[in-house]
């Protein structure tokens, strides 16, 4: 049964990938890309990797699609057609693919118990995580505590991406942004005017999405979830608001200086927890010294850094969306 579902999902992925390659309408390609991300999330679910499936569903199938649409509004909508038969590229691809397959044959079997990773590292994490960290979700304890440095690097990467987009796409230095009195548009302007149904549904849904984002943030200790996923869901709620009610209203709700501050504040919180552990006598990012008891310290440390991660991710996604959306105005 499991094999049948796996085979079908992989078959769908092949079909989708083939269609992506053959389509030259970029819009359809973006939609197919979201379908592909969904199928990947399904595969991760079949492989029992719940946190990864969560992130893939939220990021790959949701926010990525919206951001790519934002990019599409800045470029053409059809792919440039190239002529001639690409014999050399096909040959290169086939040779490198064959080399990869050949080298993969030398690796241990997928999931075999005597692979090196299952002998030393994974065993220690699985056995010791309960006593050392004390969280039911081992993925969170590995991500946030055992491999805390890696996660700090990831948050910094997201922070850098946000800064890069802000540099490239520019912050609009219009005079109206310096605190001058620009009235927010009347409720009937600046958004999807005739879409009463959408407005009402959005008003109903947005509070629940925000609440769900908070649930995912703090439930990451016990089930799938954590900072990254929560940040993305929070940004998705904001994106919905911006789509239905207009960018100006959205900027009134969350002004630019707030997102700029939050992007940095999340990373600062994460790194600050490490420095606090230094001051308390432990190593950098050693949460055990943050409280009177090591496991309490671990819980507190993980809570704080996950919150930092969620803040930065949410603020960066909001900045990305708003940068692309506002840029599109210039095209007309």
Binding to another protein (CB under 8 A): which residues in 189-208?
A: 189-195, 197-198, 201, 204-205, 208
| CA-closest candidate to residue 148, choices 316, 164, 156 | 156
Q: What letters, b where the CB count within 10 A reaches 16 and e where it falls short, cover 89-121? A: eeeeeeeeeeeeeeeeeeeeeeeeeeeeeeeee
Q: b vs e for 18-45, b when ≥16 Cβ sit within 10 Å of the residue's Cβ?
A: eebeeeeebeebbbbbbbbbbbbbbbbb
Residues 48-67 that bind another protein (CB under 8 A): 48, 50, 53-54, 57-58, 61-63, 65-66
Position 328 contacts another protein (CB under 8 A): yes
> Which two three-digit tokens encode residue 296?
């309490």
Contact segment (CB under 8 A) with another protein among 45-53, 105-113, 169-177, 264-272 equals: 45-53
Cα dist from 63 to 58, 69, 98, 150, whole Å: 7, 10, 34, 23
Smallest distance from the beta carbon of 135 to another protein, in angstroms? 14
* 72: CB partners within 8 A, 6+ apart: 26, 27, 30
Least separation in angstroms between CB 68 and another protein: 10
Contact 223, 301 (CB under 8 A): no
Cβ closer to another protein: 174 or 292? 174
> How far is Cα 312 from Cα 232, in angstroms, rounded to an integer?
10
Rounded to the nearest whole angstrom, what is the least distance from the CB of residue 322 to another protein in the complex? 9
Give the start-end residues of each E strand in 14-161: none
| 3-state secondary structure at position 31 | helix
Hey, which residues between 65 and 124 contact another protein (CB under 8 A)?
A: 65-66, 69-70, 72-73, 77-78
Radius of gyration of the chain (CA): 23
Q: Which of the stretches 9-17, 111-119, 256-264, 312-320 binds another protein when contact is defined by CB under 8 A?
A: 9-17
What's phi and psi for 168, nearest 5 deg?
Answer: -75, -45
Residues 205-244 that bind another protein (CB under 8 A): 205, 208-209, 212, 216, 219, 223-225, 229, 233, 236, 239-240, 242-244
Residues 242-261 interacting with another protein (rule: CB under 8 A): 242-244, 246-248
Least gap, CB of 312 to another protein (angstroms): 19
Q: Which of residues 132-191 bind another protein (CB under 8 A)?
A: 185, 189-191
Q: Interface with another protein by CB under 8 A: which range of 37-45, 253-261, 270-278, 286-294?
A: 37-45
Q: Binding another protein by CB under 8 A: which of 10, 21, 27, 90?
A: 27
Our finding on whether 320 is near another protein (CB under 8 A) is no
């Amino acid at each position: 049964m499991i094999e049948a579902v796996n085979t079908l999902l992989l078959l769908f992925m092949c079909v989708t990938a083939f269609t992506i390659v053959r389509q030259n309408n970029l819009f359809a390609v973006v939609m197919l890309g979201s379908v592909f991300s969904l199928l990947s999330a399904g595969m991760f679910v079949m492989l029992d990797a719940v946190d990864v499936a969560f992130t893939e569903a939220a990021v790959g199938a949701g926010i990525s699609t919206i951001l790519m649409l934002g990019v599409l509004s800045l470029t053409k909508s059809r792919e440039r057609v190239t002529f001639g038969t690409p014999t050399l590229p096909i040959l290169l691809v086939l040779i490198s693919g064959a080399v990869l397959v050949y080298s993969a044959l030398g690796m241990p079997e997928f999931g075999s118990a005597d692979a090196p990773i299952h002998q030393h590292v994974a065993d220690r994490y699985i056995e010791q995580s309960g006593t050392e960290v004390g969280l039911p979700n081992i993925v969170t304890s590995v991500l946030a505590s055992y491999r805390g440095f890696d996660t700090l690097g990831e948050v910094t990467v997201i922070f850098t991406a946000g800064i890069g987009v802000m540099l490239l796409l520019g912050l609009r230095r219009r005079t109206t942004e310096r605190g001058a009195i620009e009235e927010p548009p009347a409720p009937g302007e600046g958004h999807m005017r005739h879409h009463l149904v959408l407005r009402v549904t959005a008003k109903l849904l947005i509070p629940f999405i925000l609440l769900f984002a908070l649930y995912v943030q703090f439930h990451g200790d016990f089930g799938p979830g954590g900072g990254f996923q929560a940040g993305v869901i929070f940004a998705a709620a904001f994106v919905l608001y911006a789509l239905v009610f207009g960018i100006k209203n959205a900027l009134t709700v969350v002004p630019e200086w707030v997102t700029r501050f939050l992007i940095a504040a999340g990373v600062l919180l994460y790194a600050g927890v490490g420095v606090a552990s230094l001051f308390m006598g432990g190593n950098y990012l050693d949460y055990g010294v943050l409280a009177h008891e090591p496991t309490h310290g671990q819980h507190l440390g993980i809570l704080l850094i996950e919150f930092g991660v969620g803040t930065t991710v949410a603020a960066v996604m909001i900045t990305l969306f708003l940068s692309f959306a506002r840029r599109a105005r210039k095209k007309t």
